[in-house]
Amino acid sequence: MTRTWPFLSALLLLLAVGGAFYGLSLEAGGDAEWNEAYYWRAARFTVLQAGLSALLATGLAIPVARALARRGDFMGRDLLLRLFALPLVLPTLAAVLGIVSVFGANGWINRALDAAGMGARVPLYGLTGILVAHVFFNMPLAVRLLLKVWSAVPGETWRLSAQLGMDGNAIFRRIEWPLVRRHAPGVAGLVFLLCATSFTPVLALGGGPAATTLEVAIYQSLRFDFAPDRAAVLAVLQLVLCIAALMAWQALARPMPAAPTSGRGDIRPDRAGTAWRDGAWIALAAMFVAAPLLSLLLDGVGPALLRVLGEAAMWRAMALSTAIAAMTALLSLAISAGLLLGTRHLRRTAPRAAMPFLSLGLVALVVPPFVLGTGWFILLRGTGDPLRFGIAVIVAINALMTLPYVVRALDPALAGTEERYGRLSASLGVDGWHRFRLVDWPALRHPLGLALGLCLALSLGDLGAVALFGGGDTATLPLMLYQRMGSYRIDEAAALALVLAALCLGLFTLSEKIVGGPGDN
């Protein structure tokens, strides 16, 4: 089993991606020409906006994470961290509208500036808008990932720093910064990938076609020019670009520390006198994340919400969305399990191959879901009506999209148990299922709860795969949301966005509580 499972996972992944590309190559495109300057500009803009987004999101996450690490005890900290998981899993359109409510030309900030009689306005559309959206989506993720760095600082270190009389600055320079410098590039790399393939925010807030990314060009090739083969070439270009970024990332990144030690913030010597500064960082970050979410709540609550909640179709869509999300999560976990087992095996036998093997799981992140979908549609039509496979393909594509998060969440924990207990388990003959049950599960269940929650929520918010393979009967919540917007029912769309956000948050919390077990992060 330890051999076949990883093999099957890798095979499935390669087949899924390779098959999609093969399918696309079968369908020769129209007469559309290869506009080199255009693609070159798109590639450049992709790197520019993703690079800036990664720098900003990670750079801002560092002081916020530090403040949160230092204040391990304030009320509402858990709630805040849970809130920080929301931007990533919200349907992008809903999130973009939330951002517009706050930062837009007629948003809260500009209206406050006007009310205060200041001539100045904050412009949103253009590169600024893209960056604001990307920081909104990814800064909270970066904070959550970076917080693990602090939780790995042993309690002895804090006691020692207290004894040596180190102040906040000295602690940052000597203890925190070396850790952050090791781990931040990895976090920034992940953010880069997420932003490189971002789509809706770029188009909605970019201000015009100067803000064209490769993802937009791929979509255009598939949709408007209907040139699947060219879409495949562009997708390969994007893949190469992202793999280059991925390699740079892996060269810079260090594995995240695994098992949290007793490193609680409450014994740090530099807590006194920094409460105001920490409070300011935390409050700013919380407001930045919470304000657009709050606007979703305000826009969503109203008579339209009651109307929407009274609709049987809405509950059916919710049930279908939830079922798809559950199947997605199971499939994603099954594939990840194979990748993780294989990686563990390789760490023992061929350490150099371990990380490249694990990176297979990231591939789907950089292949647009509509590329996967269209490629498979072409392949499946040979078997009759591809819509018969609708839900299966939607689930498969969603599962591929969620793999990076699952792998990223689980690998450090698994690497940790291997490092500590690998030999001991081998010498005692604790292996297979029992190794999982007795050794890995206790360390795994917490990150697993997080991974499962992310899977569920990401799949709930997805539109890409559903839009391609869905038909009359596969009305999911995001699809319904778009439908209402298309019929001028913007109030009901807002209500649906709220329902969707609540469902995301609910499932996320549930899986963190049930699977993740008791205890906090």
Partner 1 sequence: MKRFFPLFALALLAALPARAETLTVYAYSSFVGKYGPGPAIKTAFEAECACTLDWVALDDGVAILNRLKLEGAGSRADIALGLDMNLVAEARQGGMFAKHGKPAAKLSLPVEWTDDTFLPFDYGHFAVVYDTQKMSAPPKSLKELVDGDPAQKIVIQDPRTSTPGLGLMLWVKAVYGKDAPAAWAKLKPRVLTVTKGWSEAYGLFTKGEAPMVFSYALSPAYHMEMEKSTRYQAASFSEGHYLQVEVAGKLKSAKQDALADKFMAFMLTPGFQGKIPTGNWMYPVSDPGAALPASFDKLVKPAKTLLLPPEQVAANRRAWTDEWLAAMSK
Partner 2 sequence: MTIERAGIALEAVTFRFADMAMRFDLEVASGAWLAVTGPSGAGKSTLLNLIAGFETPLSGRVTIDGRDMTGVPPAKRPVTTLFQEHNLFAHLSVADNVGLGIDPRLKLDNAQRAQVGAALAQVGLRDVEKRLPAQLSGGERQRVALARSLVRARPVLLLDEPFAALGPAQRREMLALVGQLRAERGFTVLMVTHQVDDALHGPDLAAFVNDGRIIAVDAPAALFARRDLPELGDYIGR
224 burial (CB, 10 Å; 0-12 / 13-18 / 19+) is: exposed
CB atoms near residue 19 (< 10 Å): 16
Query: Which residues in 281-340 contact partner 1 (CB under 8 A)?
Result: 311, 313, 320, 323-324, 326-327, 330-331, 334
> Distance between terminal CA atoms of the chain?
32
Looking at beta carbons only, is 104 or 257 nearer to partner 2? 257
Looking at residue 70, its amino acid is R
DSSP 216-243: HHHHHHHHTS--HHHHHHHHHHHHHHHH
As measured in angstroms, the least distance from the Cβ of 423 to partner 2 is 6
Query: Which residues in 7-46 contact partner 1 (CB under 8 A)?
Result: 27, 31-33, 35, 38, 41
Count of chain residues binding partner 2 (CB under 8 A): 16
As measured in angstroms, the least distance from the Cβ of 398 to partner 2 is 33
- One of 381, 423, 434, 437 touching partner 1 (CB under 8 A): 381
CB atoms near residue 388 (< 10 Å): 11
The shares of helix, strand and coil residues in the chain, as percent rounded to the nearest 5, are 80, 0, 20
Rule CB under 8 A: say whether 473 interacts with partner 1. Answer: yes
x/- letters, 312..351, toward partner 2 (CB under 8 A): ----------------------------------------
Query: Which residues in 382-401 contact partner 1 (CB under 8 A)?
Result: 384-387, 390-392, 395
Rule CB under 8 A: say whether 443 interacts with partner 2. Answer: yes
Distance CA 41, CA 46 (A): 8
Helix (H) or strand (E) holding 353: helix 351-366
Looking at beta carbons only, is 71 or 484 nearer to partner 1? 484
Task: Give the rounded distance of the alpha carbon of 142 from its chain centre.
Answer: 10
Helix (H) or strand (E) holding 331: helix 312-349
Q: What, of partner 1, partner 2, none, does residue 99 touch, CB below 5 to 8 Å by kind?
A: none
Query: Which residues in 256-275 contact partner 2 (CB under 8 A)?
Result: 259
Strand (E) positions, 329-469?
none
Q: Which one of 140-148, 185-193, 198-206, 285-293 is the stretch in contact with partner 1 (CB under 8 A)?
A: 198-206
Q: What, of partner 1, partner 2, none, does residue 474 touch, CB below 5 to 8 Å by kind?
A: partner 1
Pair 461, 390: CB distance under 8 Å: no
Give the angle subtended at the CA of 56 by the CAs of 47 and 284, to the nearest 5°.
150
As measured in angstroms, the least distance from the Cβ of 503 to partner 1 is 17
Length of the chain: 521
| Phi-psi label, residue 237: left if phi above 0, alpha if psi -120 to 50, beta otherwise | alpha
Rule CB under 8 A: say whether 438 interacts with partner 2. Answer: yes
Distance CA 153, CA 320 (A): 44
Looking at beta carbons only, is 60 or 304 nearer to partner 1? 304
Rule CB under 8 A: say whether 204 interacts with partner 1. Answer: yes
x/- letters, 475..504, toward partner 1 (CB under 8 A): x---xx-xxxxxxxxx--x-----------
Q: Which one of 123-131, 172-180, 217-225, 439-447 is the stretch in contact with partner 2 (CB under 8 A)?
A: 439-447
Query: Which residues in 245-284 contact partner 1 (CB under 8 A)?
Result: none
From the DSSP assignment, how many helices (H) and strands (E) are in the chain? 24, 0
Rule CB under 8 A: say whether 442 interacts with partner 2. Answer: yes
CA proximity to 516, closest of 432, 438, 450: 450
- One of 41, 271, 277, 420 touching partner 2 (CB under 8 A): 420
Q: Is 181 helix (H, G, I), strand (E, B) or coil?
A: helix
Where on the chain is the footprint of partner 2 (CB under 8 A)?
A: 259, 420-421, 423-424, 426-431, 434, 438-439, 442-443
